[in-house]
């Protein structure tokens, strides 16, 4: 047999009846909203007894005391192992505390449903609906959206799962290139602040000038400057003979034969 859970009205009625009985036990008539004056209770006074009984019945009429007492009996019964039998106050049973502190126990044959749909979950969902044609005739509701078929729901959830998927782990080479770029940009900004720029403008700086400066900075030994000048030449689409020509001029006073 299942008993309905006590409502707020039931609990309020039980508390009101308890308060009236407690006042009578202390030797006072139940207090009323009409008066704040205390009236002594005489158990031999028939009129007072009638009034006290009427107050109890009026309070009890506002809810079901049986639902409250039955529910408390279920909660307090030590056989149900809901409360700690050794505690003087209302404390959870040690078994419940241990269960809450530990990992959730999943019954055999069941699995936890992910809070955020994964592609694998959506694929299994689609497989299920394909095996169950009748299921596609029902409307499905997810996240407050009502769809006309399971397929529409699956497509939407798959798209959301893909959008929310974490980006793949980047290769160390890519991370290193990002660090290179940050260092090179900082060096270019430093040179611009000193009034030097225009390397990407053919009218201000010829590729042969960039090649000569690259060779000179190789001799100076600054890898950041060398890297910057090399990428400037690449950006300016310098031909394959530009850099060898600059190197030859740097090492030999005579022009390179056949160079352009």
For 74, the enclosing helix (H) or strand (E) is helix 65-76
Mapped onto helix, strand or coil, the DSSP state of residue 140 is strand
Residue 54: its pLDDT value, please?
92
Residue 148: its pLDDT value, please?
44
Residues 245, 259 contacting (CB under 8 angstroms): yes
Q: Where are the chain's structural domains?
A: 8-76, 119-164, 172-251
Report angle CA 211, 214, 219 to the nearest 5 degrees. Answer: 135
For 9, the enclosing helix (H) or strand (E) is helix 8-25
Residue 35: its pLDDT value, please?
64
Q: What is the pTM of this model?
A: 0.35
Share of the chain above pLDDT 70, in %: 69
Residue 254: its pLDDT value, please?
60
Q: Parallel, antiparallel, or unpaired for β 140-142 and 145-147?
A: antiparallel
For residues 213, 219, 221, 224, the Cα torsion angle rounded to the nearest 10 degrees is 20
Residues 145, 156 contacting (CB under 8 angstroms): yes
What token pair was written down for 234? 């690449």
Which portions of the chain are predicted below pLDDT 70?
Answer: 1-3, 33-36, 102-165, 253-260
| Closest to 120 (Cα-Cα) out of 147, 151, 158 | 158
Residues 185, 224 contacting (CB under 8 angstroms): no
Residue 147: its pLDDT value, please?
43
Mapped onto helix, strand or coil, the DSSP state of residue 138 is coil
Residue 91: its pLDDT value, please?
86
pLDDT one-digit tens code per residue, 117-159:
666 666 666 666 555 555 444 434 443 433 444 556 666 666 6
Residues 38, 28 contacting (CB under 8 angstroms): yes
């Amino acid at each position: 047999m299942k008993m309905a859970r006590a409502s707020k009205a039931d609990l309020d009625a039980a508390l009101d009846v308890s308060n009236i009985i407690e006042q009578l036990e202390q030797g006072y008539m139940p207090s009323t909203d009409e008066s704040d004056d205390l009236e002594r209770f005489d158990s031999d006074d028939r009129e007072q007894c009638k009034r006290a009984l009427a107050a109890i019945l009026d309070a009890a009429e506002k809810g079901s005391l049986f639902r409250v007492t039955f529910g408390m009996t279920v909660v307090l019964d030590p056989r149900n192992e809901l409360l700690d039998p050794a505690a003087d106050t209302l404390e959870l049973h040690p078994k419940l505390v241990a269960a809450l502190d530990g990992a959730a126990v999943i019954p055999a044959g069941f699995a936890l449903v992910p809070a955020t749909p994964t592609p694998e979950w959506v694929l299994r969902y689609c497989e299920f609906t394909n095996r169950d044609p009748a299921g596609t005739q029902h409307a499905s509701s997810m996240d407050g959206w009502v769809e006309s078929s399971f397929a529409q729901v699956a497509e939407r959830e798959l798209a959301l799962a893909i959008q929310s998927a974490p980006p793949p782990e980047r290769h160390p080479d890519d991370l290193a290139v990002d660090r290179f770029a940050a260092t090179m940009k900082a060096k270019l900004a430093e040179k611009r602040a000193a009034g030097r720029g225009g390397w990407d403008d053919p009218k201000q700086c010829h590729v042969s000038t960039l090649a000569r400066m690259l060779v000179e900075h190789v001799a100076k030994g600054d890898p950041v400057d060398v890297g910057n000048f090399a990428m400037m030449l690449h950006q300016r689409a310098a031909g394959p003979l530009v850099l060898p020509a600059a190197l030859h001029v740097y090492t030999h006073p005579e022009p390179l034969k056949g160079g352009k």
